[in-house]
Amino acid sequence: MYNEAGLLDTVLDRIRDAPCPIARELILVDDGSTDRSLQIARSRAAELDLEVVACPHRGKGSAVRAGIRAAHGDFICVQDADLEYDPADLAQLVVPLIENSADVVYGSRFRREAPQVHRTFHYLVNRVLTDLSNLLSGIYLSDMETCYKVFRADLLKSMRLRSERFGFEVESTAYIAKVGVRIYELPISYTPRTRLAGKKIGWRDGLAAFAHLVRFNLLTTRSEAFHALPERYRADG
């Protein structure tokens, strides 16, 4: 989270109330908020059995890495604090992992089964980035930029992630394309918010994503992308 004091209680309540077929570990990473977000999180930590990690303001990618380091579970998923994504969708996304039929599950905003609520500009940018990602990575997805990716923890923890801001989606997708993983994609709901309402990603991040696509798909080798990669992912996919 970053400066989400106005929405944070609602986010935490929605996560608490969302169904889940397995026990959960909740880690809230504060990316150097300057409002009351951190105080609110700490005030609810005991109630929700919530681990709160405070970091300097360096961007989403840096905050995600801090959360990955703190995680102890078998699977890891990122939940942005802006509530564009519905925590109730996570229950279905984790099932293929529990059943050992997937190593990574993507929640797609663009599959036909999903409710289509999008703003034209962001929709077009996301589709272009996804198409380029598919071309460069060799894996076909309908929504590479989705926040809802559920990973096996040993796979995600073995990645040498570098992105500081919003490059995590591109980087992690490029890396899983370099190894032998099983990928599922399931529909999810999505309710985008505007810049006026607090959306933080902007056009500069969209331009940066194109550079990330080239860097992480073409200029980063598998040995540079991973350290201590578990043997089960070493076979070419």
121 pLDDT above the threshold of 70 = no
Which band of pLDDT confidence, cut at 50, 70 and 90, is reported for residue 6?
very high
230 pLDDT above the threshold of 70 = yes
pLDDT over 70 percentage in the chain: 89
Instruction: For residues 115-137, give the mean pLDDT.
Output: 78
CA–CA separation, 227 and 75 (whole Å): 18
Using DSSP, state whether 105 is helix, strand or coil. strand
Domains within the chain, CATH numbers bracketed: 8-233 (3.90.550.10)
Of the listed ranges 25-39, 80-94, 104-118, the least confidently predicted one is 104-118
33 pLDDT above the threshold of 60 = yes
pLDDT computed for residue 115 by the predictor? 54
197 pLDDT above the threshold of 90 = no
196 pLDDT above the threshold of 50 = no
Paired tokens of 75: 């699977």
CA–CA separation, 77 and 188 (whole Å): 14
pLDDT, tens digit (0-9, with 9 covering 90-100), for 165-179: 889 999 999 999 999
Which pTM does this prediction carry?
A: 0.90
Partners of residue 85 on adjacent β-strands:
none
Instruction: For residues 175-192, give the mean pLDDT.
Output: 94
pLDDT computed for residue 171 by the predictor? 97
11 pLDDT above the threshold of 70 = yes
Cα 188 to Cα 27, 96, 119, 165, 172: the distances in Å are 22, 15, 16, 24, 20
206 pLDDT above the threshold of 90 = no
